[in-house]
Amino acid sequence: MAEEITRNESVEQRKKDHLKPFRQGGVNARDASTWLEHVHLLHDALPEISKDEIDTSAEFCGRRFSSPLFITGMTGGTKEAQTINRQLAQVAQELDLGFGLGSGRAMLDHEELTETYMVRDVAPDIFLAWNLGGVQLLHTEVTKISKAMDELKADALCVHLNPAQELVQPEGDRDFRGVLDAISRLVKGFDWPIIVKETGAGISKKVAGMLVDVGVEWLDVAGCGGTSWPGVELLRSGKEDDPNAQALWDWGIPTAAAIAETRKQAKGIIASGGIRTGLDAARALALGADMAGVASPVLQAWFSAGKKGAHDYLSGLKDGLVNSMLLAGCKDIPQLQDAPRVVTGPLLLWIQQRNLEQTGV
């Protein structure tokens, strides 16, 4: 019994450690960027559009959203995480945004932590995604995952891939064999949509193809340029003087490059990783994404000013997207996805060297 309590406390402490940096500005990429700044939407000086008539509705995972924005999974497993999840879910309900719960490993290992993920009573209409690590699929029966989905009344499962984070995390996984087979088995025996996502290092064309081949239809590229989870683990472990761990701080495929890598592969793409403004979201959608995901800035806004802070930030993000669409002369999301744009700099070189379809005017 004492050993079980110790393991429980260890899980909760890790979750608390992961939240701590976001009270003070987060843990951002150091030298890397999303490369979204290299996607240039053409300015339309005569848009002939009223801002009020712009339609930002979008479809993803069979669900219609009033805006193509998704609050991606962040936390769970602690009392504070419970408050965060419930308040952010309420904001998602008010703004009609998708909402993701954090990693559910703590919930599966410790049933008493289930309540820290429960939000459906305060957000009855949101598109709710639960989150589980790919490695955890190796050790978890599909029936157990299905039971958790029913209990949470979730609409989709996010399976996250995070080998870079795990390698820097002292207690992290080191063996990633069998994850693709586990995803394949889950797809065949699961009644909910499955979104496979990275956690800040991006998804390549090769990996997207492997996932699509086993039946995955939805991806969240979660590219490099936003929060660095190797950086979070590095600070958490106190190994800031380890040059080999430091070298992984900015590891990954920039978000814009990950969109270009995957946009022709999956049925639908969420672009997350460094999305901070409505213009970032507009650029990601113009490049080929279907939704734009945000996490760190929402959490920081919550720590700064609670539910109102998160609501204000996300309302501003929605408005920033509308402004960007107007300035590009786009009345709706399909027009934005087909809008003229110019790709420059390292992103253009990446697209050319990777033999991806060139994006430009």
pLDDT tens sequence across 286-296? 999 999 999 99
Distance CA 337, CA 319 (A): 18
Question: What single string gives the DSSP state of each residue in 37-54?
Answer: GGEEEPP-S-----GGG-
Q: DSSP 3-state helix, strand, coil percentages of the chain (rounded to 5)?
A: 50, 15, 35
pLDDT at 140: 92
Output the CATH code of domain 44-338: 3.20.20.70
What are phi and psi for residue 307, nearest 5 degrees? -60, -40
Using pLDDT thresholds of 50, 70 and 90, give the confidence band for residue 359: low
pLDDT of 17 over the 90 cut: no
Amino acid letter for position 199? T
pLDDT at 289: 98
Domain ranges of the chain: 44-338
CB neighbour list of residue 125: distance below 8 Å, 6 or more residues apart: 93, 96
Share of the chain above pLDDT 90, in %: 78
CA angle 53, 58, 60 (to 5 degrees): 175
Using pLDDT thresholds of 50, 70 and 90, give the confidence band for residue 6: very low
CB neighbour list of residue 134: distance below 8 Å, 6 or more residues apart: 159, 160, 161, 162, 176, 179, 182, 183, 196
pLDDT at 69: 98
Least confident of 86-100, 240-254, 334-348: 240-254
Q: CB–CB of 219/265 below 8 Å?
A: yes
Per-residue pLDDT, averaged over 327-348, amounts to 97
pLDDT at 115: 93
Least confident of 4-18, 135-149, 161-175: 4-18
Tell which residue, 124, 127, 122, 105, has the closest CA to residue 114. Answer: 105
Using pLDDT thresholds of 50, 70 and 90, give the confidence band for residue 178: very high
Using pLDDT thresholds of 50, 70 and 90, give the confidence band for residue 241: confident
**Tokens for 4?**
């079980």
**Tokens for 304?**
């700064």
Question: Could you tell me which residue, 263 or 239, shows the higher pLDDT?
Answer: 263
Pairing, β 58-60 against β 39-41: unpaired
pLDDT of 53 over the 80 cut: yes
Distance CA 123, CA 307 (A): 14
Q: CB–CB of 156/195 below 8 Å?
A: yes
CB neighbour list of residue 308: distance below 8 Å, 6 or more residues apart: none
- Which helix (H) or strand (E) segment is 98 a member of? strand 98-103
Distance CA 182, CA 203 (A): 18
Tens digits of residue pLDDT in 72-126: 988 888 889 999 999 999 999 999 999 999 988 888 888 899 999 999 999 999 9
Share of the chain above pLDDT 70, in %: 93
pLDDT at 4: 41
Tell which residue, 19, 2, 9, has the closest CA to residue 112. Answer: 9
CA angle 296, 73, 235 (to 5 degrees): 50
For residue 198, give the 3-state DSSP assignment: strand
